Chains A and B, each alone.
Chain A
Amino acid sequence: MINKTVSNVHKALDGVADGMTFMLGGFGLCGIPENAIAELVRLGIKDITCISNNAGVDDFGLGLLLQQRQIRKMISSYVGENDEFERQMLSGELEVELTPQGTLAEKCRAAQAGFPAIYTPAGYGTEVAEGKETREFDGKMYVLEPAFKADFSFVKAWKGDEAGNLIFKGTARNFNPCMCGAAKITVAEVEELLPGGSLDPNEIHIPGIFVQRIFQGEKYEKRIEQRTVRKMKSM
């Protein structure tokens, strides 16, 4: 077994620097790499480009990096839940590249799987396709979208083992598997880090080959963005 374990978040983020491009897993606040984000805030590195479906909320998730003005550019599909984001975007401090959600996922997966680019129908005929190469296949038009290039991927899984094998939980899976192995270095944080060999190979979602460093997160707040419930039926 090749051991991918690092003892803590500081060692996990060794090598991050100003001006780098990071992929960060999560959908809304669900399945975000909370510990890696906290460490990026602590390190105070600047001019980061973040590839992440969303930009967090004002005081959690990537919102924490926005507060410290550490992000230069966001590549996302939906950024609606964050006032500080809006302020920085309107003032021109923050560059924003909006990408259709499925295209975002596939540009990550393309990087992971060794494709230089993909053709997608999403965005054809809209401003998203402006200046991009298009091509017809079987009578339908597609837009050429290049694979992402990133320095680090920060992903969050439910369980992992020392070999870097990962298992995700619920919809916290989202972009995390697509980002594994899609950057030069993939850092996985897990709620529970287990000895190598203790996960059933049949149940592994992402094999450790896609992960360079794994650590157990110190704590997880797992904040809920839209707590929605139904009333208990009276018996």
Chain B
Amino acid sequence: MLDKNGIAKRIAKEVKDGYYVNLGIGIPTLVANFVRDDISVEFQSENGVLGMGPFPFEGDEDADVINAGKQTITTLPGASFFDSALSFGMIRGKHVDLTILGAMEVADNGDIANWKIPGKMVKGMGGAMDLVASAENIIVAMMHTNKAGESKLLKRCTLPLTGVGCVKKIVTNLAVLEVTPEGFKLLERAPGVTVEDIVKATEGKLMVGEEVPEMSI
């Protein structure tokens, strides 16, 4: 079974040379730590920066340079700043190659819910609805089950939706799955995890091939 860093490490393998990548808050943010250093990748933050670098050293923080999580950041050579309309133009116009985000629920038809829990304080969707509705290549990073042990990979989402039919790939602590017209397709299993474990933890329709390789990370 993978921990959060393990999930990030596995997703990092999906990041290819020349990609512009948008990382959501939580596990997705960790992906930046594991991207191979022999490829060129630029990270986009939807508040208006391409070419995000690491956090600044103490004393170098600039209130005018933050990421979408409102954290102080630095920029790398080749970086650029832009306004919010242009930023979402990048996303909506499919110029960003890969979007990695977290989710509370994903359905086997590609629907995603990650912004609102009825009865709890609603903070808002931020850029999540724009990202999921627009990006062609979306990977969801999440735990396979919630804290109560219930599956987060469902037949249909029960929470208010963020987007419909948009998720293409999911990497969890147990498995790598693809969303196909026939439901979830099991691609890889995490080290030490059996196909049976994954079947048990998946409520939505799951297709399992003859052989499911263990993921290499």
Contacts and interface: CB of A to CB of B under 8 A. Distances in A.
B133 to A, nearest CB: 4
B85 A98 contact: no
Given A80-B124, A101-B88, A227-B72, A173 B129 contact: no
A27 B47 contact: yes
Given A102-B88, A109-B85, A121-B134, A225 B70 contact: yes
B103 interface: no
Contact of A77 (B71, B126, B164): B126
Given A27-B84, A122-B133, A225-B70, 16 more contacts: A76-B124, A77-B127, A78-B124, A80-B124, A81-B70, A86-B121, A101-B46, A102-B46, A122-B92, A123-B125, A168-B81, A169-B64, A171-B45, A171-B81, A225-B66, A228-B73
A121 B133 contact: yes
A33 B65 CA distance: 16
A29 B64 CA distance: 9
A124 B85 contact: no
A225 B162 CA distance: 26
Interface in A44-99: 53, 76-81, 86, 90, 96, 98
Interface of B: 45-49, 54-58, 60-67, 69-73, 81-85, 87-88, 91-92, 111, 121-130, 133-134, 160-165
A37 interface: no
Contacts of A224: 61, 63, 66, 72
B166 to A, nearest CB: 9
A68 B131 CA distance: 35
Contacts of A173: 48, 81-83
A28 B66 contact: yes
Contact of B47 (A109, A174, A230): A174
20 contacts: A29-B70, A30-B47, A31-B64, A77-B124, A86-B121, A101-B130, A102-B130, A120-B92, A121-B92, A121-B133, A122-B129, A124-B164, A169-B64, A172-B63, A174-B48, A175-B83, A223-B63, A224-B61, A224-B63, A227-B61
A100 B64 CA distance: 23
A177 B65 CA distance: 16
B84 A174 contact: yes
Contacts of B160: 126-127
Contact of B72 (A76, A86, A106, A226): A226
Contacts of A228: 55, 61, 71-73
Contacts of A80: 121, 123-124
Contacts of B57: 229-232
A179 B125 CA distance: 21
B84 A175 contact: yes
